[in-house]
Structures are given as C-alpha cells and as structure tokens.
C-alpha cells in the first residue's frame, strides 16, 4: 500500500489556529505577546525567513519586533542589543536569525539570549535540559517532527528510530526527543559506514543530512515512517534528502518536500512563543 503523505501545511495551519485561539482567549486583561527577531546583515534568504516569521506572528496575534543591524556590527554592540531585549518585559521570545557574520561568533551570541526567552532552543541551558529530559524550549524543527508523529499516533516506545544527521538544530534534538519517548535510537552521520545497514532497521527514519535524494527505496524497511527534513535546491526546485519516488511505495507514512516538515518549523516557533508568554504573564510554570 502506498504511504500516507503528511500534509505539513494543513498541520501548520491547525497549529496556528490553536495558537491564535488561545491568544484571543488571553487577550482581555493581558498585554500582547512579543517576539524579537534579530537580523544581522543583508542575506536575502535570511531576510525572507525573518519576513515570513514576522507575518506568521502578526496573523496569530503575536507582536513581532524586528531588529535589523548591518553586517559591520561588532560582537559587543550585538551583545548590547541582546541585553536590551533580554530585559524588555514586553518581549517573551528572542530569535537570532542565523547565520551571523563570521567575525561575531555565533556561540557567544546564542549564549547571551535569556534561556527563558530562547524560543529557538539553542542556548546551552536548553540543550542541556533536552539531555536531562526537562527542556525549557526545544528547537522548532524537531518539535515539528514530534508533532507529526503524535498527530498521526505513531507508536514510539520500544521502536527502532534512526536519525541521519547530528546537527544541533535537528539531528541531536530529535534523537533525544525520541530517546525520551523510549525509542531505541541510532544516530548516523557522514562518517557512518554502510548507512543503508542502519536505515533499513528503522521503524522511524528521520533524515536531516542536506544531501538531495540520499535515502533511496532499497534503504528503507517496508512500512517505515519516514520524515524528510532536508531542504535542497536541485535543478531549480526544492527536494528533500529522501528520494520520494522510490521510498513512498515502501513507507507507511512519509513527509514530502516541500510541504512536509518545513511549514511546521514556523508554526512550532509560534507555539514556543505562546509557552514563553504564558510563563511570563504568570499563567504557567516559568520555563
């Protein structure tokens, strides 16, 4: 039987509606939530991402504050910007659009974000929380993947999960989220020998390698759940890391590219901002 194809746009729209409804219910008597988005330099792709995030915020009732600085800004000046938004009581979430110019040093900037406002989940305190099983915020792409698995009621406990790629923004966090849900997790990277030997074991296969068409049909177990995180431009179109044509007849569930995991990333960012907001206005545990 051909795989069920996940409609990430529809799930993202449902999440946005849920966030919007909750914010509407909170609107009376509370200030609006705020997300500060910091953009450095003139990279066109980054500017587009920031615009999309701002638009998504406005649509659900989150005030987005865009802070744009030139690529020539020094690390110290950028740290001053961060300290200001950290202290701003009307800002619930802070997002630093990556990549930053090389002279700034991403790590020092990400470490300067208040962990309680770190809706991207990149601060070491939040990454550490992920390790111990009590994360404050988790990066939105892995959260979006869990949302897909849960909305499709995919059993995780006791199953073999294989993650291809171990980046800090996708591979590592999804591996830990799956571990905490009691999957047996294998993490592969570009030095892994015989990648197919591992991928063929997967009941749940998450591919985040940035290699177009890396995973082919004969590398996937019959009935596997296949999550394709890759976003690659090839021959003028967007393709994933999974060869959809050969994998979808073998999988039970698959996320397409585009229209799979991608749209969920912004939706989960909105959800994280809602969590941060509720904590800050005293309606939930301080994250």
Smallest gap, in angstroms, from Cβ of residue 241 to ligand NAD? 6
Number of shown-chain residues binding ligand NAD (CB under 6 A): 25
Strands 237-239 and 232-234: antiparallel
Closest CA to 190 of 207, 169, 173: 207
List the one residue from 61, 115, 142, 171 that touches ligand NAD (CB under 6 A).
Answer: 171
Residues in region 96-155 near ligand NAD by CB under 6 A: 141
- Choose the stretch contacting ligand NAD; rule: CB under 6 A; options: 13-21, 92-100, 109-117, 161-169: 161-169
Verify binding: residue 214, ligand NAD, rule CB under 6 A: yes
CA atoms of 211 and 187, how far apart (whole Å) = 16
Please identify, using beta-carbon distances, which residue of 116 and 220 lies nearer to ligand NAD.
220
Strands 93-96 and 63-69: unpaired
Residues in region 220-279 near ligand NAD by CB under 6 A: 229-232, 261-262, 265
Please identify, using beta-carbon distances, which residue of 34 and 230 lies nearer to ligand NAD.
230
Please identify, using beta-carbon distances, which residue of 74 and 189 lies nearer to ligand NAD.
189
Please identify, using beta-carbon distances, which residue of 247 and 261 lies nearer to ligand NAD.
261
Please identify, using beta-carbon distances, which residue of 86 and 211 lies nearer to ligand NAD.
211
Verify binding: residue 93, ligand NAD, rule CB under 6 A: no
Q: Could you tell me the CA-to-CA distances from 223 to 2, 147, 202, 230 in Å, in that order?
A: 9, 20, 10, 21
Smallest gap, in angstroms, from Cβ of residue 215 to ligand NAD? 9
List the one residue from 41, 101, 210, 258 that touches ligand NAD (CB under 6 A).
Answer: 210
Smallest gap, in angstroms, from Cβ of residue 143 to ligand NAD? 11
Closest CA to 255 of 146, 148, 155: 148
Residues that bind ligand NAD (CB under 6 A): 141, 164-167, 169-171, 188-190, 192, 195, 208-211, 214, 229-232, 261-262, 265
Catalytic residues: 53, 97, 120
């Amino acid at each position: 039987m051909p795989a069920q194809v996940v409609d990430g746009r529809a799930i993202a729209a449902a999440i946005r509606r849920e966030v919007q409804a909750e914010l509407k219910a909170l609107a009376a008597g509370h200030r609006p939530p705020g997300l500060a988005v910091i953009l450095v330099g003139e990279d066109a792709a980054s500017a587009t991402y920031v615009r999309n995030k701002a638009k998504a915020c406005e649509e659900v009732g989150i005030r987005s504050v865009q802070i744009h600085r030139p690529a020539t800004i020094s690390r110290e000046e950028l740290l001053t910007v961060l300290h200001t938004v950290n202290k701003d009581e009307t800002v619930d979430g802070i997002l630093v659009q990556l990549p930053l110019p090389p002279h700034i040093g991403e790590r020092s900037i990400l470490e300067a974000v208040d962990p309680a406002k770190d809706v991207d989940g990149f601060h070491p305190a939040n990454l550490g929380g992920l390790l111990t099983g009590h994360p404050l915020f988790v990066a939105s792409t892995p959260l979006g993947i869990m949302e897909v698995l849960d909305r499709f009621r995919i059993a995780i406990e006791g199953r073999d999960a294989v993650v291809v790629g171990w980046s800090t923004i996708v591979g590592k966090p999804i591996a830990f989220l799956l571990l905490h849900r009691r999957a047996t997790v294998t993490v592969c990277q570009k030095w892994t020998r015989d990648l197919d030997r591992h991928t063929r074991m997967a009941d749940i296969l998450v591919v985040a390698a940035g290699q177009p068409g890396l995973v082919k049909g004969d590398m996937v177990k019959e009935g596997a759940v296949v999550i394709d995180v890759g976003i690659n431009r090839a021959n003028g179109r967007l393709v994933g890391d999974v060869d959809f044509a050969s994998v979808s007849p073998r999988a039970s569930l698959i996320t397409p590219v585009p229209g799979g995991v991608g749209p969920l990333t912004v939706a989960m960012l909105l959800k994280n901002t809602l969590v941060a907001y509720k904590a800050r206005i005293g309606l939930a545990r301080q994250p």
